Amino acid sequence: MKALITKLLITGCLASASMGSVASDISSTQHFAPMAAGSSVKVDETNPYSMIRTVADITFKRFANEQAEIRKNPNLLKDIVREELVPYINYKYAAFKVIGGSNFRSTTEEERDEFVPVFRDYLVTSYAQVFTLYNNQKVEFEPERDFADEKVVAVRTTVIEPGRDPIDISFRVRKEKKTGEWKAYDMVAEGISLLDSKQAELSGLIRQKGLPHVTEMLREKANKDIVFK
């Protein structure tokens, strides 16, 4: 599992990468059992805790259920990430945070509009590659807290694997002003914000070579095939 977190930190993936099972009023630790693809389970986007747990449950059950197909065609992981995770990630907000305030003024609206979907596709590929390391780890959730007056919530979890030290992971979830729905935008692994890490990595490049250059760099990464190593 340490390898999983290291990979996450290197790729700078955001948000929902190692989440668990259906909500309860106490912390829970569970394995992910198989579920048919295209589940009709409804995701409650008005509750950040429930949203993250349910989305993760659906996603990891698809991994378990489709392992044979995934082994034959690892790029199927991209489809699962795109279908099950992306709808609950505020990738536009994350993309703008990565650009940063100082660089934002030096970029055009057209450049930003081109960057956002490429950044989304880059996240899809990054998540999919990370998920090749998935091995039915356990996840323990802290109890749900009152979020009625909150705009940003950290959903805290602990990833547990026998013989390894526990790993603390928090998912930052932000409430949309217009819809009231909650969407994830960052993951903090062992105290390190992956969004901040990606911003630190790319902001200098954006400043020196421009946003179009970084867009093409991420496009190339996004187009890479998924490989089991």
- Per-residue pLDDT tens over the stretch 15-61: 333 333 333 332 344 333 334 345 567 899 999 999 999 998 898 88
Q: What span, in angstroms and rounded, lies between the C-alpha atoms of 214 and 95?
A: 12
Question: Is residue 179, in this structure, part of any structural domain at all?
Answer: yes
Q: Per residue in 134-172, pLDDT tens?
A: 777 788 888 999 999 999 999 998 888 888 888 888 999
Average pLDDT across the chain, whole number: 84
pLDDT at 229: 84
Q: What span, in angstroms and rounded, lies between the C-alpha atoms of 126 and 221?
A: 9
pLDDT at 12: 45
Domain count, the chain: 1
pLDDT at 5: 53
pLDDT at 175: 98
What lies within 8 Å, CB to CB, of 134 at 6+ separation is 4, 60, 63
Question: Is residue 14, in this structure, part of any structural domain at all?
Answer: yes
Q: What span, in angstroms and rounded, lies between the C-alpha atoms of 122 and 210?
A: 18
Rounded CA Rg of the chain? 17
Question: Is residue 227, in this structure, part of any structural domain at all?
Answer: no
Question: Is residue 33, in this structure, part of any structural domain at all?
Answer: yes
pTM of the predicted model, to two decimals? 0.80
pLDDT at 161: 82
pLDDT at 149: 95
Residue-range definition of the domain harbouring residue 68: 2-222
Question: Is residue 32, in this structure, part of any structural domain at all?
Answer: yes
Q: What is the mean pLDDT of residues 183-193?
A: 90
Question: Is residue 229, in this structure, part of any structural domain at all?
Answer: no
Question: Is residue 228, in this structure, part of any structural domain at all?
Answer: no
190 in helix, strand or coil?
coil
Question: Is residue 88, in this structure, part of any structural domain at all?
Answer: yes
Question: What are φ and ψ of residue 17, in 5° steps?
Answer: -105, -30
* CATH code, 27: 3.10.450.710
